[in-house]
Structure 1
Amino acid sequence: MTHREIMKAFTGLLLALLVALLSSTIVSNALPTILADLHGSQSQYTWVVTATLLTSTATTPIWGKLSDLFSKKLLYQLAIVIFTAGSVLGGISQSMPELIAYRALQGIGLGGLQALIQVVIAAMIAPRDRGRYSGYTGAVFAVATVSGPLIGGLIVDSPLGWRWCFWVCVPVAVIALVVLGRTLKLPVLKRKVRIDWLGATLLVGGVALLLIWVSLAGQSFGWASWSSVAYVGGAVVSLALAMLVESRAAEPVVPLRLFRNRTFTLSVLGSLAVGTAMFGGSVFLGQYYQISRGFSPTHAGLMTLPMVLGLAIASTGAGQVISRTGRTKPFMVAGASLLVAALFLLSTVDHSTNLTLMGVYLAMMGLGLGFLMQNLVLVVQNTVAMKDMGSSSSVVTFFRSLGGAAGVSALGAVLSAQVATNITNSLTRMGVPAGGAVQGGGGTLDIASLPPALQPVVRAAFGDSTGTVFLFAAFIAVVTFLAVLFMKEVPLRRTLDADAPAVTPAATTVAEEPAQLTTVLRGRVLDASGRAVSGVVLTLTDVAGHQVDVGRTGRTGEYELSATAAGEHVLLATAGSSRPAVSTVRLGGAPVWHDLLLDSHGSVSGRVRTAGRHAAIAGAVLTLTDSAGDVTASHIAGGDGAYNFSSVEPGTYTLTVTAFGHTPHAEPLAIGVEAPSRHDVVLEEEFAANRGTLY
């Protein structure tokens, strides 16, 4: 795909991502108001977040595997529909159990959006060029994270009410669905489909049991109890059986062979800790600002602005530099260091922390996340073949979501217990017996409903407990730092598939033959107007038809290929709907420069004749009408009925033919690379067509 085609499809992808992020950020900031209206508790606050993370986590690898077997475009559209349905239903919730159930449905769609956007990007863009497009993703993430809390706060503070926090995203989702339908065109790999339903069921079951146990332990039952044994034992057995099934399945949901790759394994480990730190550390920020500091939802959204700006600057800037240098590890090490430092600094906050100082800590956290999130997926995609792109990308996202879900559940339990302890200690110091005022995780979040004398105590308890959450997240983030530190950097390849030879020659292994003479072939691909064409796929073959190298033009239209044998070679250039260009080049020891010219226009010719008698129809008028109804070309057939349309933009048109004494004729006509260059038109004579009605 050319840069223009990529940007058109990218618009739909980013709109869908915007829907997902907006829904999450709007709702997270409105949750204290929602739970106060629906009479929710602290444990239910956690479950509103955990329900979405649980279902998105459990379904992410399934979405990824399906994308290796079916149409990525259709699956992405399906994910948007499911996510939108969950949003609409969430807005009509009348109780906390209903809201949690609809959030779980929303999570199924969210799992598809998280996994498939990386897969679709990988199917369009080579890893070396993927960094600058990841920057666009980071920018959308920043816009959604900034505008989400603000929009959510304005909606909650307005007469519309919190329900519109769910409904406001629906129009954007519809637009994303339409844009993707028109712009995203990806080839579908036709092969025998074998879905590992047993492995998927065991995997989902094991993860669900584990997350439910983390959410309920310490509140509904003790950490060391028979209930804990049942949950953990069931999860271990289910996951063990899942590994057994995955090792034998023809098309496993999570290919275990991928874990033999050191980079893949360390990326998974790093993503697990990033998810815990990112979700677990940030999901309680809105609660801290609203409950502990007494800010409105709108003001609370503004207070997270430093983290969002840091994330946007880091992801966008790093993406541009990575595209030019091909190096990712320096950014990931810097990001992990910043994340660990920021979380340890945030562990010192309490109900009276200076807000400017806290903003600096949040900015550091945003910079760290911006350097890490997209790059952990990028380094994995750089080391796997295209046939495993969906599975590998979704596995990394899966473990990041798993870390987030477990982090939210575990840190939520820690926060609830710490809040209860702080309230009890404060009341005891005041000489007031706690009695039933403290209910741990079941305590109310509606501070306004509490007695005036008790409100400052609860606010201080929440503020002083928040630092404990960040402290646990900081220790977990150390795992991410160690994972990226020991990760071996592999230069980003310029080809889509790992099976294709990279532009930069790989290091010779001991088992290989002595180094052969390598000839470098460079050049540019230009269109008919002499302008550079980016995103053109070039294939170099020898005279026997064997593939020698594969490459892709960059932004300046330049390419670079290499061959280890001298002699004549065939160079083929293909780009979207343009006519392929092919030429012969002679390679020797010295570098060779060879430019290619792409013809971006199509043509079609043929004859207009009479049905049955095959007599030529002279003077027939032919017109080409595009999809918008505009006539783009017209022609009058010659004496032999011949016509010719040249220099026509590739696409699908309606060909209309009229001639005196003949019935008018119209039919669809495709003009482009795969369309036939010759097309004859057959017209019926009017008296023959109307014979049944003439008397």
Structure 2
Amino acid sequence: MKKENKNFALVLFILGVFITALDNGIISSALSTINYSFNVSEVHGIWGITLYTLGMAISTPIIGKLADRYGRKKLFIFEISLFAIGSLLVALSPSFLFFLLARLIQSIGGGGIYIIASSHVLSTYDRVQQGKLLGAMGAVNGIASVVGPNLGAIILKLTGHWNWLFIINIPIAIFVIIAGGMVIPETKGGDLKKLDYRGLTLLTLGIFSFMAGITNLRSERFLQSISGIQVWGAFMLGIIFFALFAVNERRIRDDTDPFLPYQLIKNQGFLLTIFMGLLSGTLIAVFVLIPSFVEQRYGISANTSGIWMSGIGVGSILGAIIGGIMVSKRGAVNSLVISGGLSTIGFGLLAYLSNNLALFLVFSTLAGIGFGMLMGAPFQVLMKKIAGTKDSTVALGTLSVSRQVGLTLAPTLYATLIQGGFSKLNLAKLNASNVEEYYQKILSMGKGVQREQLLNNFYEIAKGAYQQMFTMAVIASVLILVGSLILKKKQF
């Protein structure tokens, strides 16, 4: 294979990873607008994000296994095609239920892209190049979710319609399909075994159960809501499914590829890295909701709120570059320690001291640098080192899925906390059915003392509502920092 074609094929894989990860974040710039257009609450509206991430988590191991069996090129092109069809259906959605189903189709198309691209790198490039390329791919996968709102804000400003956020995927997908058919080589995996469908089903049911329980939580009536069967019953069901999943993984037969290989489960470094990967997914979810925060906290219009993600976007890209350099010079674990510290400081400042847009821009850039370092090379290189060459593919796939699980569960939790914070609003005062409708009615009022009082009260309540989300991000960052220090102490 010619070097030019080899490099171009890699670019196409990275482009595929980018556009599918982009849709984790691009929707956030129009989340309030979409909720308003379908007349749904913030908690229900967030399912447009969580179903997408859940679909990606479920489809990742399935598509990865099918790609190893039938050919990575075939599955890559199929996945991109399905992603494009799903994007078109999302853009044409006549109802919220249709919108959710279309997002699920879109996610199944996007779910296998990252693992196929990673497998391509491992089968095509030598060991010296693999670490660097996998790190770059991990950075693209994470950062795309952050730059998504920026791009979404630009598209919204130019078109005025959220539907175009998804239509833009179609010409890019067509280009990748045509070019990929021409230059991507066909590769397959060796030593093929059955996929662990039972484990995958149990894990999916466990995630769904926790999502259902979180959706029914009410932060303003926390003790009362958690005592209801809709919450504790769902959580108990989730724990049972996760316990059955763990038992299943331990008893897996030799002819089946386990979802979590038992020989790796016994490795403390592997388990800790998987947990930290899950926490990094919860941080991505924070960035997905920041455009709504900027709109409802500082009064920025929905069509331009994503632009204020520029500091985070630039910080994330800078952090990914710094992280890659640090991994080469100081090792993956030391890079994780520094990135966890920066992320903790950045989110802490956002939670308690971002009283104006200037401070928000500075603090969010700092958080972005820490986040970018996390999303880049450190996790990929560390996991490859812990798992070894033999299990590196399945370990990286598990790391990707753990991040998707965090990204799936966190938005529902954040939206529930935020909606609970907004419970202080008297929606009936303006005959509004949800927070966004209440806010839009205030904006449509004629200028005067009453309008200013209502706006100032709304912004103050929004500050407290979103503060809970940023506090959760601080906790996740601290846990990543602690996990990194443990790994450093154990000399991984």
TM-score normalised to structure 2 length: 0.86
From the superposition, tell whether residues 387 and 174 of structure 1 become closer, same or farther in structure 2 (CA, over 3 Å): farther
The alpha-carbon deviation at position 380 of structure 1 amounts to 1.0
Contact kept in structure 1, 2:326 and 2:332, CA below 8 Å: no
From the superposition, tell whether residues 439 and 131 of structure 1 become closer, same or farther in structure 2 (CA, over 3 Å): farther
- The one of 233, 237, 240 aligned to 1:234: 237
| 1:328 and 2:328 matched | no
The alpha-carbon deviation at position 320 of structure 1 amounts to 4.3
The alpha-carbon deviation at position 480 of structure 1 amounts to 0.8
| 1:448 and 2:440 matched | yes
Other-structure match for 1:337? 341
The alpha-carbon deviation at position 42 of structure 1 amounts to 1.3
From the superposition, tell whether residues 254 and 72 of structure 1 become closer, same or farther in structure 2 (CA, over 3 Å): farther
Other-structure match for 1:23? 23
Other-structure match for 2:356? 354
Contact kept in structure 2, 1:52 and 1:103, CA below 8 Å: yes
Please show how residues 432-443 of structure 1 align to structure 2 within 5 Å: 442-443=434-435
The alpha-carbon deviation at position 446 of structure 1 amounts to 6.1
Please show how residues 87-98 of structure 1 align to structure 2 within 5 Å: 87-98=87-98
SS, match of residue 347 in structure 1? helix
From the superposition, tell whether residues 194 and 332 of structure 1 become closer, same or farther in structure 2 (CA, over 3 Å): same
- The one of 240, 243, 247 aligned to 2:246: 243
Greater share of helix: 2
Which residue identity is paired with 1:364?
L
Which residue identity is paired with 1:258?
L
| 1:179 and 2:183 matched | no
From the superposition, tell whether residues 207 and 63 of structure 1 become closer, same or farther in structure 2 (CA, over 3 Å): farther
In structure 1, distance between residues paired with 2:145 and 2:189 = 36
Contact kept in structure 1, 2:62 and 2:195, CA below 8 Å: no
Query: RMSD of the TM alignment (CA)?
Result: 3.1
Please show how residues 143-292 of structure 1 align to structure 2 within 5 Å: 144=144, 148-159=148-159, 161-185=161-185, 187-218=187-218, 222-247=225-250, 248-249=252-253, 250-251=255-256, 252-279=258-285, 281-292=286-297
Contact kept in structure 2, 1:68 and 1:391, CA below 8 Å: no
The alpha-carbon deviation at position 158 of structure 1 amounts to 3.9
SS, match of residue 397 in structure 2? helix
In structure 1, distance between residues paired with 2:491 and 2:66 = 29
| 1:394 and 2:397 matched | yes
Number of aligned residue pairs: 477
The alpha-carbon deviation at position 23 of structure 1 amounts to 3.0
The alpha-carbon deviation at position 12 of structure 1 amounts to 0.6
Contact kept in structure 2, 1:337 and 1:368, CA below 8 Å: yes
Other-structure match for 1:418? 421
The alpha-carbon deviation at position 14 of structure 1 amounts to 1.7
Which residue identity is paired with 1:409?
T
From the superposition, tell whether residues 260 and 139 of structure 1 become closer, same or farther in structure 2 (CA, over 3 Å): closer
Other-structure match for 1:301? 306
In structure 1, distance between residues paired with 2:323 and 2:428 = 54
Q: Which runs of 5+ in 2 are unaligned?
A: 446-450
Contact kept in structure 2, 1:35 and 1:445, CA below 8 Å: no
SS, match of residue 487 in structure 1? helix
Please show how residues 642-681 of structure 1 align to structure 2 within 5 Å: none
From the superposition, tell whether residues 122 and 366 of structure 1 become closer, same or farther in structure 2 (CA, over 3 Å): farther
Contact kept in structure 2, 1:60 and 1:111, CA below 8 Å: yes
The alpha-carbon deviation at position 474 of structure 1 amounts to 0.6
Contact kept in structure 2, 1:291 and 1:459, CA below 8 Å: yes
- The one of 368, 373, 387 aligned to 1:371: 373
SS, match of residue 416 in structure 2? helix
Contact kept in structure 1, 2:279 and 2:480, CA below 8 Å: yes
The alpha-carbon deviation at position 190 of structure 1 amounts to 4.5
Describe the superposition over 1:47-82 as per-residue Cα deviations: whole angstroms up to 9, x where unpaired.
222121222223333344445545333333332222
SS, match of residue 93 in structure 1? coil
Stretch moving more, 479-488 or 185-194 = 185-194
Describe the superposition over 1:625-650 as per-residue Cα deviations: whole angstroms up to 9, x where unpaired.
xxxxxxxxxxxxxxxxxxxxxxxxxx
Contact kept in structure 2, 1:146 and 1:301, CA below 8 Å: no
Which residue identity is paired with 1:306?
G
Contact kept in structure 2, 1:273 and 1:400, CA below 8 Å: yes
Q: Which runs of 5+ in 1 are unaligned?
A: 425-433, 493-695
The alpha-carbon deviation at position 43 of structure 1 amounts to 1.5
The alpha-carbon deviation at position 19 of structure 1 amounts to 1.5
Instruction: Report % sequence identity.
Output: 21
From the superposition, tell whether residues 383 and 182 of structure 1 become closer, same or farther in structure 2 (CA, over 3 Å): farther
TM-score normalised to structure 1 length: 0.63
Describe the superposition over 1:93-132 as per-residue Cα deviations: whole angstroms up to 9, x where unpaired.
1222221222222222332224333333333335543454
In structure 2, distance between residues paired with 1:209 and 1:443 = 26
In structure 2, distance between residues paired with 1:70 and 1:391 = 17
Contact kept in structure 2, 1:292 and 1:463, CA below 8 Å: yes
From the superposition, tell whether residues 471 and 135 of structure 1 become closer, same or farther in structure 2 (CA, over 3 Å): same
In structure 2, distance between residues paired with 1:8 and 1:285 = 34
In structure 2, distance between residues paired with 1:320 and 1:130 = 15
Other-structure match for 1:314? 319
From the superposition, tell whether residues 106 and 261 of structure 1 become closer, same or farther in structure 2 (CA, over 3 Å): same
Stretch moving more, 244-253 or 147-156 = 147-156
